[in-house]
Amino acid sequence: YEHEGGAYYRRTIQLQGNTLSLGAVEGSFATNFETVKVILHGFEQSEQVTVGGQSHGTSAEMHRYTEPITQFDPVGVPIPVVQQPVRTVELPFSAEPFEVKIG
């Protein structure tokens, strides 16, 4: 309920070309996150990213953007789970701004 007292957490995230920029963290809410997982949709061939001059390998995964609804129709056809191939990379969390160069 800290938000009722004015606590907030905000971070600008912007993609321009092959560069993903994460701005500095703003606000007084303290996060417990230790990592940032970046999901690269549309960059399925990108096996590496660069952050601060350091290269990081990406992993191939199947990702679904929404969870399927429950099976509630007893005579219906099962609802398929829609998944897409993506590349992911898990990076150490930083409250400071940083850029992820893709590819």
Output the pLDDT for position 97: 97
Domain that holds residue 22: 2-65+81-102
Alpha-carbon distance 3 to 8, whole Å? 6
The model carries a pTM of: 0.81
Q: Say if residue 78's pLDDT is above 80.
A: no
Other CB atoms within 10 A of residue 42 CB: 11
Instruction: Burial-class residue 91 by CB neighbours within 10 Å (0-12, 13-18, 19+).
Output: middle
Summarize the confidence of residues 1-14 as an average pLDDT. Answer: 92
Alpha-carbon distance 20 to 39, whole Å? 11
Closest CA to 22 of 92, 97, 103: 97
**Domain assignment present for 76:** no
**Domain assignment present for 70:** no
**Domain assignment present for 38:** yes
pLDDT tens digit string along 36-76? 999 999 998 999 999 999 999 999 999 998 877 666 666 66
**Domain assignment present for 72:** no
**Domain assignment present for 51:** yes
Domain count along the chain:
1
**Domain assignment present for 74:** no
